[in-house]
Amino acid sequence: RGKEIRKNAIKWKDLAREAVDEGQGHINPMLQFAKRLVAKGVKATLVTTIFLSNSVTLSDPTSSIDLQTISDGFDQGGFAQAKSPHTYMSTFKSVGSQNLASLIKKLGETTRLKFDALVYDSFMPWALDVAKQFGLLTAVFFTQSCAVNSIYYHVSKGTLKLPVEEPNVSIPGLPLLQVSELPFLLYHYGLYPASFDMIVGQFSKHEAADWVLINSFHELEKEVIDKMPEIWKLGTIGPTIPSMFLDKRLENNKDYGMSLLEQNTSTCMNWLNSKPNGSVVYVSFGSMAELGLEQMAEIALGLKESNYYFLWVVRKSEESKLPNNFKVEIGEKGLIVAWCPQLEVLKHESLGCFLSHCGYNSVLEALCLGVPMLAMPQWADQATNAKHVEDVWKIGIRPSLDEKGIVRKEVIKQCINEMMQGEMGKEMKKNADKWKNLAREAVDDGGSSDTNIDEFVSKLVCV
Ligand code: UDX
């Protein structure tokens, strides 16, 4: 019974962390989109839940974005406070929609703000009904790649049946996908029913929205975007990387958003500054992935025995998995931090490549800063992203797994060598630079995403 209770406790701890981190992963792109709207002369109000607002601080106190909060019914503990994920989702829907409606009404009365449109996250389809009550235009905002959304869309329509029984899956506009290259929830079908409902629920009302906005850019996912015309009422508005990382004219502006954790900025930047150009491997598995002990040890040894410097983000909760004495043994060769300013790290000239779990934000960031990748997906959408990194965008490789699903240290060393010095590495770097330029062009004046944002803005009465 004790074991059972501990298992449940761990499950709830994971779900709680997932709720906050996923929330931030969704707020960040929305915040950056709001900033682009403001740059076009639109007034933007960003609404988040009371619980999440405690872990979100805008780093730009003079921001022209108005930050407002509503209760989701769980102000003290968010997701973890609810008895189950289903309770959370249904309470968020009922309490959240009432509170969102009250907020729109209140702001209309007290500030004389007249809203024209509601841009809402795809995980809260009920926001469409709130917007319609007020006669607002509606835009559903998808934070993940078009490829991943396309797969989920086909599941929701029943054109991709679960459980998948064939070894390969064919989706229009996508390369043939092995089952293990689908998003984790689909090949572990049935394990997380609430998350599954949330994913499929994204498509319950999106056809009624005036626009569908995707955090991608047309050049990046042309094939799949062009195959899905019926849900694309406007299209791509990304990448939602802070403008100062895409536009040289803005690069001295440091107020680019918000951070989840203490970033150890000066430690990281001083250390990187002391390293030669292209000599450092940056390693991060994002805000959520939890590696097994064996995998952690193989990465540690692979990095230690490789010929390159490394900066490794090991979150506090993962630190005890490092081999004994590892930090001492590596000396100046490696720096381990609990969290870092990732965009600034990726932009640093000492960087050679990025060993990553392939969370969508990390992939977009590497791509926008021209950094080639070693792709080690763990769960969520990461396997599909990693497939694109290697086979579609050709900016990285996936180190092979052994029969236990572990990437061994020899493979890690060999892939790092290849990426830092080999012909393949040069090719990947060239491709990454190509995508970097295309991403910049997409959000630059007259680019594909910029034009879509202009079109959206032109429909707003207030502009
Ligand atoms: C989660 C899922 O795991 C991912 O698959 C999905 O695509 C988005 O939501 P996460 O695992 O945190 O996200 O990965 P990712 O999408 O890469 O986002 C991590 C963010 O944290 C990035 O914006 C990155 O710049 C930032 N980060 C990461 C830091 O600022 N510092 C760090 O040390 C590590």
Specify the pLDDT at position 463. Answer: 44
Picking from 252, 245, 256, the residue whose alpha carbon sits closest to that of residue 439 is 245
- Give the position, in ligand 1's atom list, of the atom nearest the Cα of 260: 30
Beta bridge partners of 336: 312
Give the Cβ contact number of residue 46 at 10 Å: 20
ipTM: 0.99
What's the gap in Å between 287 CA and the centre of ligand 1? Answer: 5
**Residue 189 pLDDT level (bands cut at 50, 70, 90):** confident
**Residue 262 pLDDT level (bands cut at 50, 70, 90):** low
Top mean pLDDT of 76-85, 112-121, 137-146 is at: 137-146
Q: How far is CA 202 from CA 79, 142, 361, 414, 448, in A?
A: 18, 9, 19, 41, 25
- Per-residue pLDDT at 164 exceeds 60: yes
Specify the pLDDT at position 257. Answer: 63
- Per-residue pLDDT at 147 exceeds 80: yes
Specify the pLDDT at position 1. Answer: 77
Give the Cβ contact number of residue 187 at 10 Å: 17
**Residue 3 pLDDT level (bands cut at 50, 70, 90):** confident
Average pLDDT of the chain? Answer: 90
Q: Which of 14, 60, 121, 402 is catalytic?
A: 121
Q: Which residue has the higher pLDDT, 236 or 114?
A: 236
* Amino acid occupying residue 261: L
- Give the position, in ligand 1's atom list, of the atom nearest the Cα of 361: 16
Section 70-78 average pLDDT: 90
Q: Strand 168-169 and strand 177-178: pairing?
A: antiparallel
Specify the pLDDT at position 53. Answer: 80
Beta bridge partners of 312: 283, 336
What is d(CA 314, CA 334) in angstroms, rounded to the nearest whole number?
A: 12
Specify the pLDDT at position 242. Answer: 86
Specify the pLDDT at position 158. Answer: 93
Tens-digit pLDDT profile for residues 287-345: 888 999 999 999 999 999 999 999 999 998 899 999 999 999 999 999 999 989 999 99
Pocket test of ligand 1: the residue of 342, 345, 376, 381 to mutate, having most ligand atoms within 8 Å of its CB, is: 342
What is d(CA 316, CA 260) in angstroms, rounded to the nearest whole number?
A: 13
Section 241-263 average pLDDT: 69
Specify the pLDDT at position 34. Answer: 92
Specify the pLDDT at position 315. Answer: 92
Specify the pLDDT at position 231. Answer: 67
C-beta 144 within 6 A of ligand 1: yes
Q: Which residue has the higher pLDDT, 18 or 279?
A: 279
Beta bridge partners of 20: none
- Give the position, in ligand 1's atom list, of the atom nearest the Cα of 343: 25
What is d(CA 345, CA 341) in angstroms, rounded to the nearest whole number?
A: 6
| Cα 382-384-387 angle, rounded to 5 deg | 110
Specify the pLDDT at position 180. Answer: 94
- Which pair of tokens denotes residue 433? 């630079």
C-beta 384 within 6 A of ligand 1: no
C-beta 311 within 6 A of ligand 1: no
Does the active-site annotation cover 86?
no
What's the gap in Å between 359 CA and the centre of ligand 1? Answer: 6
- Per-residue pLDDT at 434 exceeds 70: yes
- Per-residue pLDDT at 240 exceeds 70: yes
Section 213-231 average pLDDT: 90
What's the gap in Å between 208 CA and the centre of ligand 1? Answer: 31
Is residue 171 a contact partner of residue 150, using CB atoms and an 8 Å limit?
yes
Tens-digit pLDDT profile for residues 350-375: 999 999 999 999 999 999 999 999 99
Specify the pLDDT at position 280. Answer: 98
**pTM for this entry:** 0.92
